[in-house]
Amino acid sequence: MTPRRGGQAVDASWRRAGIVAAVVLVVDQVTKALVSSDVALGSSRQVIPGVSIVHAENSGVAFSLLTGSEALVVIFTVVIVAGVIAFFARHRQRRLLWLATGLIVGGALGNLVDRIRSGAVTDFIQLPHWPAFNLADASITVGVAALTLAIVKANDWGWRSPGIIASVAITLVSLTLFVVHCLRSANPFVDPAMFRIRQYTGAALVMAPYSVAFGAMLLSTVLWDQTIWGWSALKTGLAIAIGPLLVPTTSLLLGGRLIARFGAANVIVAGIAFFAAGMIAWATLLGSAPDIVTSIAAMAPVGIGVGLTFPTAMGVGSAALPPSMFATGSGTINMIRQSALAIGVAIFVAIVGAPHSPAERLAGFQRGWWVLAAIVALALIPTLVLIRPRRQPAPAAAERDRIAPSGVEEAPELP
């Protein structure tokens, strides 16, 4: 009877996935048909503040990526659907995997039907500052989510498991499509012209590793205090409060003065150094025995570092942009920051793994804090290369001769 029940469970998983895919496909096609018949191509109707129903068509994939590359789009869709079904076939016993599989396959097939029938996909949902999309579009979110999933589950599934390989592949493909869209589209989601501005690019590249380290630091310190030292949530909050308190204090009282005197690049370098010092202190000074004094002392340089780096990098990036790019530019840096926070948490979880003894837990956390110190140090490269002002060449000899000892330029002789 057991094999029969197992077979019935397997059949039920396939049935559920098929039903979900069919429902998604039908709903997708019906909503697109309603929009096509009731909303003129290129027009828009506001449903609620911030959300409009539009009628747009694109020949690319989600969010109009790869527009004009129909053959590549079809191949990409078929490969993704085949990969998802193959993964489901191997791991269909996982809880709710049937639901995820049905949603992905149904959405992909819905857009594929559009391409085969009319050569373009109907998009009809419009949010502020976001390309029009339909219910099947999620490539950017899937890219970041799949990367996070791959890192978090690597220790459980194994780095060479089909799930990890598929997650990494989906991540790379999705992010590549996003970059290609930005480079080729006449109306890109992120304007590549922003990254031709030297200091803006530097600020964005600083924010990525710094946010990775920051997100992992938040998770690791709370986990350590509560799960290793056994502190209550209240005691943990009091122990780490020095960090958040020093962020606005450092930024408001010292940040502006330091930037005016030493320059933004040097302030960011100092912030990176303070943050790295805090991570090294956590890795070297803390042990298995609870020590609130050392915990506070190790958290203090982290707070100072964040107060010096985050506001300064955001200010540098925003100030370098022309007014027409300010909203998109600041939003892009925030997108980088939020994505990096999630990735940082995933990285630390993967480093610590599932230790079986207090000694293994201590070693895992210490290893993770050393890695965070190394990751945040990567922010030094864009700071020194892109944010630090370039040295101006010395004036030529003939130009120097025209400058009087008082520093006032001499007027040229009249003929």
Q: Are residues 141 and 200 in the same domain?
A: no
Q: Are residues 69 and 151 in the same domain?
A: yes
Please tell me the predicted confidence (pLDDT) of residue 377: 95
Active site residue 11: no
Name the active-site residue from 28, 38, 114, 123: 123
Please tell me the predicted confidence (pLDDT) of residue 101: 76
User: Considering the domain boundaries, does residue 353 fall inside one?
Assistant: yes
How many domains are contained in the chain?
Answer: 2
pLDDT tier at 142, thresholds 50, 70, 90: very low
What is the C-alpha separation between 366 and 349, in angstroms, rounded?
Answer: 13
pLDDT of 317 higher than 70 = yes
- Residue 194 near residue 328, CB atoms below 8 Å: yes
Q: Are residues 302 and 280 in the same domain?
A: yes
User: Considering the domain boundaries, does residue 413 fall inside one?
Assistant: no
Reference 139, options 56, 66, 32; nearest CA is 66
- Residue 221 near residue 299, CB atoms below 8 Å: yes
Which of 189, 204, 227 finishes a domain? 189
Please tell me the predicted confidence (pLDDT) of residue 104: 76
Higher pLDDT, 125 or 299: 299
The CATH number of the domain holding residue 271 is: 1.20.1250.20
Half-sphere exposure of 324 (CA within 13 A, CB side): 3
Bridge pairing between strands 51-58 and 44-48: antiparallel
Name the active-site residue from 38, 137, 191, 291: 137
pLDDT tier at 183, thresholds 50, 70, 90: confident
Active site residue 137: yes
pLDDT tier at 213, thresholds 50, 70, 90: very high
- The pLDDT tens digits for 121-132 are 666 666 665 555
pLDDT tier at 334, thresholds 50, 70, 90: confident
What is the C-alpha separation between 367 and 348, in angstroms, rounded?
Answer: 9
pLDDT of 226 higher than 90 = no
Question: Domain range for residue 68?
Answer: 9-189
**Residue 49 Cα distances to 45, 53, 55, 124, 415, angstroms:** 11, 11, 18, 16, 71
Q: Are residues 55 and 157 in the same domain?
A: yes
Reference 348, options 151, 150, 146; nearest CA is 151
- Residue 369 near residue 283, CB atoms below 8 Å: yes
Tokens 């964005």 locate to 204
Rounded to an integer, the average pLDDT of 390-407 is 53
pLDDT of 111 higher than 50 = yes
- The pLDDT tens digits for 344-360 are 888 888 888 777 788 88
For the chain, the residue count is: 415
* Alpha-helical segments (H) within 255-325: 256-262, 264-285, 292-319
User: Considering the domain boundaries, does residue 222 fall inside one?
Assistant: yes
For 124, phi then psi, to 5°, come to -145, 0
Q: Are residues 259 and 366 in the same domain?
A: yes
pLDDT tier at 63, thresholds 50, 70, 90: very low
- How buried is 47 (Cβ within 10 angstroms: 0-12 exposed, 13-18 middle, 19+ buried)? exposed
User: Considering the domain boundaries, does residue 315 fall inside one?
Assistant: yes
Out of 9-18, 280-289, 312-321, least confident range = 9-18
